[in-house]
Amino acid sequence: GGPVIIVGAGHGGYQVAASLRQAGFSERICLINDEAHLPYQRPPLSKAYIKGSAGPESLMFRPEKFYHDQKIELIAGRAVSIDRAGRKVLLASGEALPYGHLILATGARNRLLDLPNANLPDVKYLRILDESEALRQIMPSKTRVVVIGAGFIGLEFAATARIKGLEVDVLELAPRVMARAVTAEVSEYFQQRHREAGIRIHLGVQATSIEAADGKVTGVSLSDGRHLPADLVVVGVGVLPNIELAAEAGLPVAAGIIVDEYLATSDPDISAIGDCALFASPRFGGSLRLESVQNATDHARCVAARLTGDRKPYDGHPWFWSDQGDDKLQMAGLTTGYDRVVLRGDPANKAFSAFCYKGDKLLGIESVNRAGDHMFGRRLQAMDRSITPEQAADESFDLKSALA
Ligand code: FAD
């Protein structure tokens, strides 16, 4: 019993508070929020929000009244330490909040570029609303952007910048875009589509310095000796999980806050969820840290269920999406370790899916503009079923029959 204190009011933090109340939890809930906004959705920051003109309210999960009605105390501020013996969280303001259970939903922060001039105002990142807002506001006055990193966020931003009329160069150290996350077939498709849109993609290169004059960015130098002019640099080189609060409290951390299959840390009164959590996964083997809305919200629901008497190991089915220009990529499952890729549909028709197998086992499906295949993949996973590579490749095979 006792109050639940949640550190971090992002996707996971918001959801665990909402799910606790939904499940009838009646004690105090405090959601510690170090951003000066009501809890909001992050994915549009590099997509619809930066493209459009809707205000910050368009991103909020719920209006202020929701928190008031649900008696979820939104506490503005930062948690700076955990007193485990005294079961209290200390805030930067000096306030101490006693907890019965503590949930760490601290997410991740931008990995910063360690290059000369990387701290100039025209070098931007995209993790939080304030960063997206700042970028949206300066874009109309910019003509040439160099995007560092061809991951999801870098490419989503690059596509939007191009639509808005900027000259766009994308730098990527790996030999293909989104290399860690998707198959070569899907990388190839997106490289071609972005190039058709007029984006220059440079693979196998690194930025070595940012050039500036009078404090304004003038360009980026590359590891191959080239120099690209630019008046804006956007960095998307990944994130670092926020593990320090846990580590300083003596909780085990590695590439994330270490939790078991119930999402509990080594201290049974403290759980960790979402981007910051390195969780044991009986389904996938070993431990995983994922960065997705699905992962954060399903973690949140699992912990809320446990705290209201329904103790079950976490067994979510991963899925993800990315919107780049006119193309929608959707992924179901975890494809790590695949040894065979079967295409359904034709990339030339701008609609196809890559079914990833390890032996006969379907690990996951990457769909490009084929929402039906994606939904199929999610339902198939939930049923713990599979289809053969031959069936996957055969468009006359009715996917629905596999769900019957
Ligand atoms: P977050 O949402 O990052 O929330 C953590 C919060 O904790 C932050 O507000 C942080 O400031 C706060 N915090 C940290 N430390 C403290 C402290 N000590 N005290 C108080 N507060 C603290 N996922 C998808 O599935 N699909 C997408 O298309 C997609 N697009 C994305 C686009 C962008 C631009 C970004 C940045 C992410 C995107 N993601 C997407 C990833 C997804 O948003 C994250 O996986 C998700 O937000 C993780 O939720 P979380 O609650 O773990 O962390």
| pLDDT tens, position by position, 103-144 | 999 999 999 999 999 999 999 999 999 999 999 999 999 999
Q: Where in the chain is the domain with CATH 3.30.390.30?
A: 326-403
| pLDDT tens, position by position, 386-398 | 999 999 999 999 9
Q: Where in the chain is the domain with CATH 3.50.50.60?
A: 4-109+239-307, 112-235
Instruction: State residue 1's pLDDT score.
Output: 86
CATH superfamily of 326-403: FAD/NAD-linked reductase, C-terminal dimerisation domain (3.30.390.30)
If one counts every other C-beta atom within 10 angstroms of the C-beta of residue 197, the result is: 15
The Cα-based distances of 46 to 15, 128, 273, 338, 347 in angstroms read 21, 10, 23, 29, 25
Q: Is 0.90 exceeded by the ipTM?
A: yes
Which is the closest atom of ligand 1 to the Cα of 275? Answer: 52
- The whole-number average pLDDT for the span 372-382 is 96
| Protein residue with its CA nearest to atom 9 in ligand 1 | 10
In contact, 40 and 206? CB cutoff 8 Å: no
As assigned by CATH, the class of the 112-235 domain is: alpha beta
Mean residue pLDDT of the chain comes to 97
- The whole-number average pLDDT for the span 269-289 is 97
Would you say domain 4-109+239-307 falls under CATH 3.20.20.60? Answer: no
In contact, 318 and 334? CB cutoff 8 Å: yes
Ligand 1 pocket member 251 (CB < 6 A): no
Among 292, 320, 329, name the best residue to mutate to test ligand 1's pocket (greatest count of ligand atoms within 8 A of Cβ). Answer: 292
Ligand 1 pocket member 322 (CB < 6 A): yes
| pLDDT tens, position by position, 11-51 | 999 999 999 999 999 999 999 999 999 999 999 999 999 99
Q: Find, among 42, 44, 55, the residue nearest to 15 by Cα.
A: 42
Determine the Cα–Cα distance for residues 229 and 145; give it in Å rounded to an integer. Answer: 8
Which is the closest atom of ligand 1 to the Cα of 290? Answer: 45
Ligand 1 pocket member 242 (CB < 6 A): yes
| pLDDT tens, position by position, 150-200 | 999 999 999 999 999 999 999 999 999 999 999 999 999 999 999 999 999
Place of tokens 């105390």: 73
* Percentage with pLDDT > 70 across the chain: 100
| Protein residue with its CA nearest to atom 33 in ligand 1 | 43
Ligand 1 pocket member 131 (CB < 6 A): no
